[in-house]
Amino acid sequence: MLRHGLKGELRVKHAAVSQTPPILLIVEDSKLVRGELKRAIGSAFAFQIEMVASYEEAREYLDWHSRDIFLAILDLNLPGSPSGEIVDLFCSMRVPSLVLTSDFTETTRERMQSKEIIDYLVKDAHAVENVLAYIDRLYRNRSTKVMVVEDSELSRLYVSSLLHRQMFKVIDVPDAESGLRILEQQDDVGLVIIDYALPGMDGIELTQRIREKFSKETMAVIGLSSVSDTMLTARFLKNGANDFITKPFEVEGFFCRINHNVEMLDSMRALRDANMVKNQFLGMAVHDLRSPINGINGLAEMLLSDMCGPINEEQREIIGYIRTANRQMNALVSDLLDISVIESGKLELVLDQRNLREVVEQRLRIQGFAAKRKNILLKRTLEDVREFRFDRNRVGQVLDNLLSNAIKFSPVSEVIEISMGEEDGHAVICVTDHGQGIPPDEADLLFQTFRKTSVQPTAGESGAGLGLAIVHKIVLAHRGRVWVESEYGKGATFCFSLPLDTSSDSGD
Protein backbone atom coordinates (compact mmCIF):
# COMPACT_ATOMS: atom_id res chain seq x y z
CA MET A 1 0.00 0.00 0.00
CA LEU A 2 2.83 2.38 0.92
CA ARG A 3 4.70 1.88 -2.31
CA HIS A 4 1.81 2.09 -4.71
CA GLY A 5 0.29 5.07 -2.89
CA LEU A 6 3.52 7.08 -2.75
CA LYS A 7 4.58 6.27 -6.26
CA GLY A 8 1.24 7.26 -7.73
CA GLU A 9 1.12 10.50 -5.74
CA LEU A 10 4.59 11.57 -6.78
CA ARG A 11 4.01 10.84 -10.45
CA VAL A 12 0.75 12.74 -10.53
CA LYS A 13 2.22 15.78 -8.78
CA HIS A 14 5.36 15.87 -10.87
CA ALA A 15 3.58 15.40 -14.19
CA ALA A 16 1.95 18.79 -13.72
CA VAL A 17 5.27 20.64 -13.61
CA SER A 18 7.85 18.67 -15.60
CA GLN A 19 8.33 15.95 -18.19
CA THR A 20 11.28 14.36 -16.36
CA PRO A 21 11.21 13.06 -12.78
CA PRO A 22 13.25 14.86 -10.10
CA ILE A 23 16.68 13.53 -9.23
CA LEU A 24 17.40 11.68 -6.00
CA LEU A 25 21.13 11.21 -5.47
CA ILE A 26 22.48 8.38 -3.31
CA VAL A 27 26.05 8.93 -2.06
CA GLU A 28 27.13 5.64 -0.47
CA ASP A 29 30.31 3.54 -0.78
CA SER A 30 28.67 0.25 0.23
CA LYS A 31 27.40 -1.50 -2.89
CA LEU A 32 24.93 -3.51 -0.80
CA VAL A 33 23.43 -0.42 0.88
CA ARG A 34 23.32 1.49 -2.44
CA GLY A 35 21.47 -1.35 -4.08
CA GLU A 36 18.94 -1.73 -1.27
CA LEU A 37 18.23 2.02 -1.18
CA LYS A 38 17.82 2.18 -4.95
CA ARG A 39 15.50 -0.83 -5.00
CA ALA A 40 13.30 0.43 -2.17
CA ILE A 41 13.12 4.05 -3.33
CA GLY A 42 12.58 3.03 -6.95
CA SER A 43 9.67 0.79 -5.94
CA ALA A 44 8.02 3.51 -3.85
CA PHE A 45 8.68 6.68 -5.86
CA ALA A 46 9.10 7.91 -9.41
CA PHE A 47 12.48 9.60 -8.96
CA GLN A 48 15.38 9.52 -11.36
CA ILE A 49 17.81 7.77 -9.02
CA GLU A 50 21.53 8.48 -9.43
CA MET A 51 24.33 6.90 -7.37
CA VAL A 52 27.95 7.79 -6.59
CA ALA A 53 30.38 6.01 -4.27
CA SER A 54 33.00 8.58 -3.26
CA TYR A 55 33.59 12.24 -2.39
CA GLU A 56 35.28 12.88 -5.75
CA GLU A 57 32.44 11.31 -7.77
CA ALA A 58 29.94 13.38 -5.79
CA ARG A 59 31.88 16.61 -6.41
CA GLU A 60 32.04 15.94 -10.15
CA TYR A 61 28.30 15.17 -10.24
CA LEU A 62 27.45 18.39 -8.40
CA ASP A 63 29.41 20.46 -10.90
CA TRP A 64 26.78 19.56 -13.49
CA HIS A 65 23.56 18.73 -11.64
CA SER A 66 23.44 20.48 -8.24
CA ARG A 67 20.34 22.53 -9.12
CA ASP A 68 18.39 19.51 -10.37
CA ILE A 69 18.58 17.42 -7.19
CA PHE A 70 15.43 17.07 -5.11
CA LEU A 71 17.25 15.24 -2.33
CA ALA A 72 20.68 13.76 -1.63
CA ILE A 73 21.10 10.82 0.74
CA LEU A 74 24.62 10.98 2.14
CA ASP A 75 26.73 8.38 3.89
CA LEU A 76 28.66 10.33 6.53
CA ASN A 77 31.95 8.48 6.04
CA LEU A 78 33.10 7.32 2.61
CA PRO A 79 36.28 7.40 0.45
CA GLY A 80 37.59 10.96 0.33
CA SER A 81 35.39 11.95 3.27
CA PRO A 82 36.76 10.23 6.37
CA SER A 83 35.41 12.91 8.73
CA GLY A 84 32.14 13.83 7.05
CA GLU A 85 33.54 16.35 4.55
CA ILE A 86 30.82 15.20 2.13
CA VAL A 87 28.25 17.03 4.27
CA ASP A 88 30.11 20.34 4.00
CA LEU A 89 30.34 19.90 0.22
CA PHE A 90 26.61 19.46 -0.23
CA CYS A 91 25.76 22.25 2.22
CA SER A 92 28.04 24.64 0.32
CA MET A 93 26.10 23.82 -2.87
CA ARG A 94 22.74 24.24 -1.03
CA VAL A 95 21.60 20.74 -1.96
CA PRO A 96 18.90 19.36 0.40
CA SER A 97 20.58 16.46 2.19
CA LEU A 98 19.61 13.60 4.47
CA VAL A 99 22.62 12.07 6.26
CA LEU A 100 22.95 8.38 7.17
CA THR A 101 25.34 7.49 9.97
CA SER A 102 26.07 4.44 12.09
CA ASP A 103 28.01 6.63 14.53
CA PHE A 104 25.21 7.91 16.79
CA THR A 105 27.11 9.76 19.51
CA GLU A 106 26.65 13.13 21.20
CA THR A 107 29.58 14.49 19.18
CA THR A 108 28.10 13.33 15.87
CA ARG A 109 24.68 14.68 16.84
CA GLU A 110 26.12 18.12 17.63
CA ARG A 111 28.09 18.14 14.36
CA MET A 112 25.00 17.28 12.32
CA GLN A 113 22.86 19.89 14.05
CA SER A 114 25.45 22.55 13.26
CA LYS A 115 25.10 21.81 9.53
CA GLU A 116 22.32 23.03 7.27
CA ILE A 117 21.08 19.55 6.47
CA ILE A 118 17.49 18.35 6.53
CA ASP A 119 18.18 15.74 9.20
CA TYR A 120 20.30 12.73 10.03
CA LEU A 121 19.12 9.11 10.33
CA VAL A 122 20.77 6.21 12.09
CA LYS A 123 21.87 3.22 10.01
CA ASP A 124 20.01 0.37 11.66
CA ALA A 125 17.56 -2.38 10.72
CA HIS A 126 14.85 0.22 10.01
CA ALA A 127 17.02 2.70 8.09
CA VAL A 128 15.53 2.03 4.65
CA GLU A 129 11.97 2.19 5.98
CA ASN A 130 12.78 5.47 7.75
CA VAL A 131 14.31 6.92 4.59
CA LEU A 132 11.16 6.10 2.60
CA ALA A 133 8.92 7.72 5.21
CA TYR A 134 11.12 10.82 5.31
CA ILE A 135 11.14 11.22 1.53
CA ASP A 136 7.37 10.94 1.43
CA ARG A 137 7.03 13.52 4.21
CA LEU A 138 9.40 15.96 2.46
CA TYR A 139 7.59 15.69 -0.85
CA ARG A 140 4.25 16.43 0.80
CA ASN A 141 5.74 19.27 2.86
CA ARG A 142 6.44 21.15 -0.37
CA SER A 143 2.72 21.85 -0.74
CA THR A 144 2.17 22.77 2.95
CA LYS A 145 2.22 26.41 4.06
CA VAL A 146 3.47 27.18 7.56
CA MET A 147 3.23 30.63 9.13
CA VAL A 148 5.55 31.67 11.97
CA VAL A 149 4.29 34.53 14.17
CA GLU A 150 7.22 35.65 16.34
CA ASP A 151 8.31 39.18 17.29
CA SER A 152 11.94 38.24 17.99
CA GLU A 153 13.73 38.42 14.64
CA LEU A 154 16.45 36.01 15.74
CA SER A 155 13.95 33.40 16.94
CA ARG A 156 11.71 33.92 13.91
CA LEU A 157 14.59 33.38 11.48
CA TYR A 158 15.78 30.30 13.37
CA VAL A 159 12.36 28.61 13.40
CA SER A 160 11.81 29.56 9.76
CA SER A 161 15.19 28.11 8.74
CA LEU A 162 14.33 24.79 10.40
CA LEU A 163 11.03 24.69 8.53
CA HIS A 164 12.70 25.59 5.23
CA ARG A 165 15.02 22.61 5.70
CA GLN A 166 11.92 20.40 5.93
CA MET A 167 10.80 21.88 2.57
CA PHE A 168 7.73 23.69 3.92
CA LYS A 169 6.47 26.88 2.30
CA VAL A 170 7.24 29.33 5.10
CA ILE A 171 5.65 32.71 5.83
CA ASP A 172 7.02 34.68 8.80
CA VAL A 173 5.48 37.75 10.41
CA PRO A 174 6.40 39.79 13.53
CA ASP A 175 2.96 40.32 15.07
CA ALA A 176 -0.59 38.96 15.35
CA GLU A 177 -2.22 41.64 13.19
CA SER A 178 0.10 40.82 10.27
CA GLY A 179 -0.66 37.13 10.74
CA LEU A 180 -4.42 37.72 10.59
CA ARG A 181 -4.04 39.77 7.41
CA ILE A 182 -2.09 36.91 5.82
CA LEU A 183 -4.79 34.40 6.79
CA GLU A 184 -7.46 36.63 5.27
CA GLN A 185 -5.58 36.55 1.97
CA GLN A 186 -4.30 32.95 2.10
CA ASP A 187 -6.74 30.53 3.70
CA ASP A 188 -4.66 27.51 2.62
CA VAL A 189 -2.11 27.87 5.44
CA GLY A 190 -1.93 24.48 7.14
CA LEU A 191 0.08 25.22 10.28
CA VAL A 192 0.59 28.36 12.38
CA ILE A 193 3.36 28.58 15.00
CA ILE A 194 2.57 31.38 17.46
CA ASP A 195 4.82 32.89 20.11
CA TYR A 196 2.98 33.96 23.26
CA ALA A 197 4.69 37.32 23.91
CA LEU A 198 3.66 39.30 20.83
CA PRO A 199 3.29 43.10 20.66
CA GLY A 200 -0.36 44.14 20.90
CA MET A 201 -2.48 41.01 20.60
CA ASP A 202 -0.80 38.11 22.42
CA GLY A 203 -0.48 34.55 21.14
CA ILE A 204 -3.48 33.18 23.01
CA GLU A 205 -5.81 35.89 21.68
CA LEU A 206 -4.47 35.25 18.18
CA THR A 207 -5.21 31.54 18.63
CA GLN A 208 -8.78 32.40 19.62
CA ARG A 209 -9.20 34.62 16.55
CA ILE A 210 -7.89 31.86 14.28
CA ARG A 211 -10.28 29.31 15.78
CA GLU A 212 -13.22 31.61 15.02
CA LYS A 213 -12.62 30.83 11.34
CA PHE A 214 -10.48 27.69 11.09
CA SER A 215 -11.07 24.35 12.83
CA LYS A 216 -8.38 22.08 14.26
CA GLU A 217 -9.07 19.65 11.42
CA THR A 218 -8.14 22.21 8.72
CA MET A 219 -5.44 24.29 10.41
CA ALA A 220 -3.07 23.29 13.21
CA VAL A 221 -1.86 25.86 15.75
CA ILE A 222 1.25 25.34 17.88
CA GLY A 223 1.94 27.70 20.79
CA LEU A 224 5.54 28.74 21.45
CA SER A 225 7.10 30.40 24.50
CA SER A 226 10.34 30.70 26.43
CA VAL A 227 8.29 30.72 29.64
CA SER A 228 8.13 27.25 31.21
CA ASP A 229 4.69 27.55 32.76
CA THR A 230 2.15 24.72 32.83
CA MET A 231 -0.71 27.23 33.02
CA LEU A 232 0.48 28.91 29.83
CA THR A 233 0.55 25.55 28.07
CA ALA A 234 -2.95 24.81 29.34
CA ARG A 235 -4.25 28.24 28.27
CA PHE A 236 -2.95 27.75 24.73
CA LEU A 237 -4.47 24.27 24.46
CA LYS A 238 -7.81 25.26 26.03
CA ASN A 239 -8.11 28.16 23.59
CA GLY A 240 -7.70 26.02 20.50
CA ALA A 241 -4.02 25.21 20.01
CA ASN A 242 -3.16 21.70 18.83
CA ASP A 243 0.19 21.63 20.60
CA PHE A 244 2.70 23.69 22.59
CA ILE A 245 6.51 23.90 22.44
CA THR A 246 8.75 25.48 25.08
CA LYS A 247 11.88 27.38 23.99
CA PRO A 248 14.68 26.44 23.85
CA PHE A 249 13.82 23.12 22.25
CA GLU A 250 15.67 20.13 20.87
CA VAL A 251 15.63 20.12 17.08
CA GLU A 252 14.54 16.47 16.92
CA GLY A 253 11.63 17.19 19.24
CA PHE A 254 10.64 20.24 17.21
CA PHE A 255 10.61 18.26 13.95
CA CYS A 256 8.63 15.46 15.61
CA ARG A 257 5.90 17.83 16.87
CA ILE A 258 5.69 19.69 13.57
CA ASN A 259 5.45 16.53 11.49
CA HIS A 260 2.93 14.95 13.87
CA ASN A 261 0.56 17.90 13.41
CA VAL A 262 1.04 18.09 9.65
CA GLU A 263 0.45 14.35 9.31
CA MET A 264 -2.77 14.76 11.30
CA LEU A 265 -3.91 17.42 8.82
CA ASP A 266 -2.98 15.14 5.91
CA SER A 267 -5.00 12.30 7.44
CA MET A 268 -8.04 14.52 7.98
CA ARG A 269 -7.80 15.77 4.39
CA ALA A 270 -7.58 12.21 3.09
CA LEU A 271 -10.63 11.23 5.15
CA ARG A 272 -12.61 14.17 3.78
CA ASP A 273 -11.61 13.26 0.23
CA ALA A 274 -12.53 9.60 0.77
CA ASN A 275 -15.86 10.61 2.26
CA MET A 276 -16.59 12.82 -0.74
CA VAL A 277 -15.82 9.96 -3.14
CA LYS A 278 -18.04 7.65 -1.07
CA ASN A 279 -20.93 10.11 -1.23
CA GLN A 280 -20.51 10.54 -4.98
CA PHE A 281 -20.53 6.77 -5.42
CA LEU A 282 -23.61 6.37 -3.23
CA GLY A 283 -25.42 9.08 -5.16
CA MET A 284 -24.69 7.42 -8.51
CA ALA A 285 -25.51 3.92 -7.24
CA VAL A 286 -28.81 5.03 -5.74
CA HIS A 287 -29.96 6.69 -8.93
CA ASP A 288 -29.05 3.59 -10.93
CA LEU A 289 -31.01 1.37 -8.52
CA ARG A 290 -34.20 3.42 -8.69
CA SER A 291 -35.30 2.21 -12.13
CA PRO A 292 -35.07 -1.57 -11.54
CA ILE A 293 -36.71 -1.22 -8.11
CA ASN A 294 -39.63 0.71 -9.58
CA GLY A 295 -39.83 -1.83 -12.40
CA ILE A 296 -40.04 -4.76 -9.97
CA ASN A 297 -42.74 -2.99 -7.99
CA GLY A 298 -44.77 -2.30 -11.13
CA LEU A 299 -44.52 -5.91 -12.32
CA ALA A 300 -45.52 -7.24 -8.89
CA GLU A 301 -48.59 -4.98 -8.88
CA MET A 302 -49.53 -6.23 -12.37
CA LEU A 303 -49.30 -9.87 -11.27
CA LEU A 304 -51.33 -9.25 -8.11
CA SER A 305 -54.06 -7.47 -10.10
CA ASP A 306 -54.41 -10.53 -12.42
CA MET A 307 -53.54 -8.40 -15.47
CA CYS A 308 -51.40 -11.30 -16.75
CA GLY A 309 -53.93 -13.97 -15.91
CA PRO A 310 -55.23 -15.56 -12.70
CA ILE A 311 -52.78 -16.71 -10.01
CA ASN A 312 -53.35 -19.09 -7.10
CA GLU A 313 -53.02 -18.22 -3.41
CA GLU A 314 -49.51 -19.62 -3.08
CA GLN A 315 -48.32 -17.54 -6.03
CA ARG A 316 -50.09 -14.49 -4.61
CA GLU A 317 -48.29 -14.99 -1.29
CA ILE A 318 -44.88 -15.30 -2.99
CA ILE A 319 -45.48 -12.16 -5.05
CA GLY A 320 -46.49 -10.38 -1.83
CA TYR A 321 -43.12 -11.30 -0.34
CA ILE A 322 -41.41 -9.93 -3.46
CA ARG A 323 -43.31 -6.66 -3.14
CA THR A 324 -42.49 -6.35 0.58
CA ALA A 325 -38.78 -6.98 -0.05
CA ASN A 326 -38.86 -4.47 -2.89
CA ARG A 327 -40.41 -1.83 -0.63
CA GLN A 328 -37.67 -2.43 1.95
CA MET A 329 -35.06 -2.04 -0.77
CA ASN A 330 -36.71 1.19 -1.93
CA ALA A 331 -36.65 2.54 1.64
CA LEU A 332 -32.95 1.68 1.93
CA VAL A 333 -32.20 3.41 -1.38
CA SER A 334 -34.05 6.51 -0.17
CA ASP A 335 -32.00 6.53 3.04
CA LEU A 336 -28.76 6.12 1.09
CA LEU A 337 -29.71 9.02 -1.16
CA ASP A 338 -30.47 11.19 1.86
CA ILE A 339 -27.15 10.33 3.49
CA SER A 340 -25.17 11.06 0.32
CA VAL A 341 -26.93 14.40 -0.13
CA ILE A 342 -26.55 15.43 3.51
CA GLU A 343 -22.90 14.38 3.92
CA SER A 344 -21.85 15.99 0.64
CA GLY A 345 -23.07 19.33 1.98
CA LYS A 346 -25.84 19.61 -0.60
CA LEU A 347 -28.73 19.53 1.87
CA GLU A 348 -30.80 22.64 1.25
CA LEU A 349 -33.59 23.41 3.69
CA VAL A 350 -36.79 24.94 2.36
CA LEU A 351 -37.81 27.09 5.32
CA ASP A 352 -41.42 28.28 5.53
CA GLN A 353 -43.53 29.67 8.36
CA ARG A 354 -45.60 26.66 9.44
CA ASN A 355 -47.57 25.06 12.24
CA LEU A 356 -45.51 22.20 13.66
CA ARG A 357 -48.52 20.53 15.25
CA GLU A 358 -50.11 19.98 11.83
CA VAL A 359 -46.98 18.20 10.63
CA VAL A 360 -46.86 16.03 13.77
CA GLU A 361 -50.55 15.09 13.44
CA GLN A 362 -50.10 14.16 9.79
CA ARG A 363 -47.10 11.92 10.51
CA LEU A 364 -48.91 10.27 13.40
CA ARG A 365 -51.78 9.37 11.06
CA ILE A 366 -49.35 7.87 8.54
CA GLN A 367 -47.40 5.88 11.15
CA GLY A 368 -50.66 4.83 12.81
CA PHE A 369 -51.14 2.08 10.20
CA ALA A 370 -47.82 0.44 11.14
CA ALA A 371 -48.66 0.81 14.84
CA LYS A 372 -52.07 -0.80 14.33
CA ARG A 373 -50.46 -3.91 12.83
CA LYS A 374 -48.70 -4.48 16.19
CA ASN A 375 -51.70 -3.28 18.23
CA ILE A 376 -49.62 -0.35 19.53
CA LEU A 377 -51.34 2.76 20.88
CA LEU A 378 -49.83 6.13 19.90
CA LYS A 379 -50.58 8.31 22.91
CA ARG A 380 -50.10 12.00 22.18
CA THR A 381 -49.68 15.03 24.45
CA LEU A 382 -49.32 17.96 22.07
CA GLU A 383 -49.18 21.49 23.41
CA ASP A 384 -49.53 24.44 21.07
CA VAL A 385 -46.29 25.88 19.72
CA ARG A 386 -46.25 29.18 17.89
CA GLU A 387 -45.59 29.06 14.16
CA PHE A 388 -41.97 29.28 13.05
CA ARG A 389 -39.83 28.62 9.98
CA PHE A 390 -38.77 25.03 9.29
CA ASP A 391 -38.54 22.58 6.41
CA ARG A 392 -41.83 20.68 6.50
CA ASN A 393 -40.63 17.66 4.51
CA ARG A 394 -37.34 17.25 6.36
CA VAL A 395 -38.90 17.62 9.81
CA GLY A 396 -41.55 15.13 8.68
CA GLN A 397 -38.72 12.79 7.80
CA VAL A 398 -37.30 13.19 11.32
CA LEU A 399 -40.69 12.33 12.82
CA ASP A 400 -41.13 9.33 10.51
CA ASN A 401 -37.76 7.91 11.54
CA LEU A 402 -38.34 8.38 15.27
CA LEU A 403 -41.89 7.01 15.17
CA SER A 404 -41.03 4.04 12.95
CA ASN A 405 -38.07 3.20 15.22
CA ALA A 406 -40.30 3.32 18.30
CA ILE A 407 -42.83 1.02 16.61
CA LYS A 408 -40.08 -1.31 15.38
CA PHE A 409 -38.56 -1.79 18.84
CA SER A 410 -41.81 -1.88 20.86
CA PRO A 411 -43.45 -5.18 21.85
CA VAL A 412 -46.95 -5.96 20.58
CA SER A 413 -49.82 -4.19 22.41
CA GLU A 414 -47.57 -1.55 23.97
CA VAL A 415 -47.98 2.24 24.23
CA ILE A 416 -45.77 4.84 22.53
CA GLU A 417 -45.97 8.35 23.96
CA ILE A 418 -45.47 11.44 21.80
CA SER A 419 -45.15 14.86 23.41
CA MET A 420 -44.66 18.35 22.01
CA GLY A 421 -44.16 21.66 23.77
CA GLU A 422 -42.25 24.92 23.87
CA GLU A 423 -39.17 25.29 26.07
CA ASP A 424 -36.56 28.07 26.25
CA GLY A 425 -37.36 29.38 22.78
CA HIS A 426 -37.38 25.92 21.19
CA ALA A 427 -40.05 23.53 20.01
CA VAL A 428 -39.34 20.19 21.72
CA ILE A 429 -40.72 16.84 20.53
CA CYS A 430 -40.14 13.56 22.36
CA VAL A 431 -41.04 9.98 21.39
CA THR A 432 -41.02 7.42 24.22
CA ASP A 433 -41.21 3.67 23.74
CA HIS A 434 -41.28 0.87 26.31
CA GLY A 435 -39.07 -1.58 24.47
CA GLN A 436 -35.70 -2.91 25.49
CA GLY A 437 -33.92 0.45 25.57
CA ILE A 438 -30.30 1.20 24.73
CA PRO A 439 -27.33 -0.67 26.26
CA PRO A 440 -25.22 2.00 28.04
CA ASP A 441 -22.03 1.10 26.18
CA GLU A 442 -23.77 1.38 22.79
CA ALA A 443 -25.33 4.84 23.13
CA ASP A 444 -22.54 6.42 21.06
CA LEU A 445 -23.51 4.26 18.05
CA LEU A 446 -27.03 5.65 17.76
CA PHE A 447 -26.45 8.64 15.49
CA GLN A 448 -23.56 7.23 13.46
CA THR A 449 -23.97 6.26 9.81
CA PHE A 450 -24.27 2.49 9.14
CA ARG A 451 -23.99 1.67 12.86
CA LYS A 452 -26.60 -0.30 14.81
CA THR A 453 -26.93 -1.37 18.42
CA SER A 454 -27.32 -4.99 19.49
CA VAL A 455 -31.03 -4.43 20.26
CA GLN A 456 -33.25 -6.30 17.78
CA PRO A 457 -36.68 -5.24 16.43
CA THR A 458 -39.54 -7.11 18.08
CA ALA A 459 -41.19 -8.41 14.90
CA GLY A 460 -38.24 -9.10 12.61
CA GLU A 461 -38.26 -5.63 11.00
CA SER A 462 -35.15 -4.68 9.05
CA GLY A 463 -32.96 -1.59 9.03
CA ALA A 464 -29.62 -0.38 7.69
CA GLY A 465 -28.61 1.87 10.58
CA LEU A 466 -29.23 5.09 8.66
CA GLY A 467 -32.45 6.49 10.12
CA LEU A 468 -31.05 8.10 13.28
CA ALA A 469 -28.01 9.41 11.42
CA ILE A 470 -30.39 11.18 9.04
CA VAL A 471 -32.40 12.52 12.00
CA HIS A 472 -29.25 13.90 13.59
CA LYS A 473 -28.04 15.68 10.46
CA ILE A 474 -31.43 17.20 9.59
CA VAL A 475 -31.91 18.54 13.12
CA LEU A 476 -28.39 20.00 13.15
CA ALA A 477 -29.10 21.67 9.80
CA HIS A 478 -32.01 23.44 11.54
CA ARG A 479 -29.57 24.53 14.31
CA GLY A 480 -31.41 22.21 16.67
CA ARG A 481 -30.41 19.41 19.00
CA VAL A 482 -31.26 15.71 19.27
CA TRP A 483 -30.72 13.46 22.29
CA VAL A 484 -31.80 10.20 23.88
CA GLU A 485 -32.63 9.15 27.44
CA SER A 486 -32.76 5.45 28.16
CA GLU A 487 -32.75 2.96 31.00
CA TYR A 488 -31.74 -0.39 29.57
CA GLY A 489 -34.59 -2.87 29.80
CA LYS A 490 -37.25 -0.19 30.25
CA GLY A 491 -37.36 1.67 26.95
CA ALA A 492 -36.00 4.88 25.44
CA THR A 493 -37.04 8.48 24.86
CA PHE A 494 -35.75 10.22 21.74
CA CYS A 495 -36.13 14.01 21.70
CA PHE A 496 -35.25 16.81 19.34
CA SER A 497 -35.55 20.57 19.60
CA LEU A 498 -35.84 23.23 16.91
CA PRO A 499 -35.23 26.96 17.50
CA LEU A 500 -38.36 29.08 17.16
CA ASP A 501 -36.30 32.13 16.22
CA THR A 502 -34.87 31.43 12.75
CA SER A 503 -34.34 35.05 11.72
CA SER A 504 -30.67 34.38 10.88
CA ASP A 505 -31.53 31.50 8.54
CA SER A 506 -32.32 31.84 4.86
CA GLY A 507 -34.77 29.68 2.99
CA ASP A 508 -36.67 29.53 -0.23
Domain CATH number, residue 158: 3.40.50.2300
Task: Indicate whether 320 and 181 sit together in one domain.
Answer: no
Task: Indicate whether 131 and 152 sit together in one domain.
Answer: no
Tens of pLDDT, residues 296-347? 878 888 888 888 888 888 888 888 888 877 876 777 777 677 776 666 666 7
Residue 314 lies in a domain: yes
Spatial separation of the C-alpha atoms in residues 242 and 278, rounded to whole Å: 29
Residue 278 lies in a domain: yes
Task: Indicate whether 115 and 72 sit together in one domain.
Answer: yes
Residue 290 lies in a domain: yes
Tens of pLDDT, residues 394-453? 899 899 889 998 999 999 999 999 999 999 999 999 999 998 888 887 877 787 766 667
| Greatest distance between any 2 Cα atoms in the chain | 97
Task: Indicate whether 332 and 304 sit together in one domain.
Answer: yes
Residue 507 lies in a domain: no
The sign of the torsion formed by the CA atoms of 67, 68, 71, 74 equals: negative
Task: Indicate whether 131 and 38 sit together in one domain.
Answer: yes
Domain CATH number, residue 322: 1.10.287
Read out DSSP for 393-457?
Answer: HHHHHHHHHHHHHHHHTSPTT-EEEEEEEEETTEEEEEEEE-SS---GGGGGGTTSTT---SPPP
* 119-122/97-101 β-pairing: parallel
Residue 399 lies in a domain: yes
Q: Which of 99, 123, 139 is the last residue of a domain?
A: 139
Task: Indicate whether 367 and 425 sit together in one domain.
Answer: yes
Task: Indicate whether 127 and 166 sit together in one domain.
Answer: no
Task: Indicate whether 312 and 392 sit together in one domain.
Answer: no
C-alpha neighbours within 13 Å on the C-beta side of residue 42: 12
Indicate the burial class of 413 (C-beta count within 10 angstroms; 0-12, 13-18, 19 or more): exposed
Nearest to 50 by CA among 30, 72, 81: 72
Our count of domains for the chain comes to 4
Q: Going residue by residue through the chain, which has 508 residues, state the pLDDT in tens, using 9 for 90 and above.
A: 333 344 334 443 333 344 688 999 999 999 999 999 999 999 999 999 999 999 999 999 999 998 899 999 999 989 999 889 999 999 999 999 999 998 888 998 999 989 999 999 999 999 999 999 999 999 999 999 999 999 999 999 999 999 999 999 999 999 999 999 999 999 899 999 999 999 999 999 999 999 999 999 999 999 999 987 889 999 999 999 999 999 999 999 999 999 999 999 999 988 888 877 777 777 677 667 767 877 887 888 888 888 888 888 888 888 888 887 787 677 777 767 777 666 666 678 889 999 999 999 998 998 998 899 999 999 999 999 999 999 998 899 899 889 998 999 999 999 999 999 999 999 999 999 998 888 887 877 787 766 667 777 775 565 555 778 889 989 999 999 999 999 888 899 999 999 998 665 544 4
Task: Indicate whether 306 and 180 sit together in one domain.
Answer: no
Task: Indicate whether 133 and 150 sit together in one domain.
Answer: no
Number of CB atoms found within 10 A of residue 428's CB: 18
Task: Indicate whether 419 and 287 sit together in one domain.
Answer: no
Q: Give the model's pLDDT for residue 439.
A: 87
Q: Give the model's pLDDT for residue 508.
A: 43
Q: Which of 343, 367, 388 is the last residue of a domain?
A: 343
Q: Give the model's pLDDT for residue 94.
A: 94
CA distances 222 to 252, 266, 506, Å, are 16, 16, 37
DSSP letter (8 states) at residue 81: B
Spatial separation of the C-alpha atoms in residues 142 and 185, rounded to whole Å: 20
Residue 508 lies in a domain: no
Domain CATH number, residue 478: 3.30.565.10
Q: Which of 88, 113, 139 is the last residue of a domain?
A: 139
Spatial separation of the C-alpha atoms in residues 388 and 360, rounded to whole Å: 14
Q: Give the model's pLDDT for residue 451.
A: 63
Domain interval for residue 14: 2-139
Residue 101 lies in a domain: yes
Residue 463 lies in a domain: yes
Q: How far is CA 382 from the centre of its chain?
A: 40
Task: Indicate whether 308 and 339 sit together in one domain.
Answer: yes
Indicate the burial class of 271 (C-beta count within 10 angstroms; 0-12, 13-18, 19 or more): exposed
